[in-house]
Amino acid sequence: MLNGSYLYHLAKCYRDAIKDANINFDSIYGPAYKGIFLGSIVTLILSKNGEKYPLSFNRKEIKDHGEGGNIIGHDPIGDVLIIDDVISAGTAAKESIKSIESLGANPKIVLVGLDRQEKGQDSLSAKEELEKDFGVIVKSIVNLDSLIQFSKQSADFKTYIDQLEEYRLNWGA
């Protein structure tokens, strides 16, 4: 169940991944839809240590009334950390990168909770394609391999091993 405690622990996981990877950046961008709240909770937890980063996120549909436009919050500036829940084919990350570049900022890092380690267009994984084609760093809190390994060691999750292995067989890089 999604609640404040869950979100707090999730934010700490993202914060720890940022610190462990020694990631430096100037602003945070959360792509719609899940990236909006993920970017918000990460910005909030980083501010507890005095780290203040401008936050922006996009709309799926451009708004032509009110504040209008496609970006909400501060326009992305400098080196941008893109925060999202998962990387599958990399489509959302590619769209975010192009949007950030169009605003004059530098998409530097993509941080996701789960890298599904899916095939990209060629022989590379979606993560590897993003790194090669766009020059960004892609990090994840967990990936499919670590999820399978965890499931093998946990009595509560052993029932998912066959499904995870089948997913990797069908979609994995």
Contacts of residue 137, Cβ cutoff 8 Å, sequence gap at least 6? 21, 23, 108, 109, 110, 131
Catalytic member of 48, 52, 60, 65: 65
Of 12, 19, 63, 98, which is the active-site residue? 63
Q: Could you confirm whether 34 is annotated as catalytic?
A: no
- Other C-beta atoms closer than 10 Å to the C-beta of 50 total 6
127 part of the active site: no
Q: By C-alpha distance, which of 148, 145, 143 is closest to 160?
A: 148
Q: Is the CB of residue 60 less than 8 Å from the CB of residue 32?
A: yes
Q: Are 117 and 168 in contact (CB under 8 A)?
A: yes
Active-site amino acid positions? 63, 65
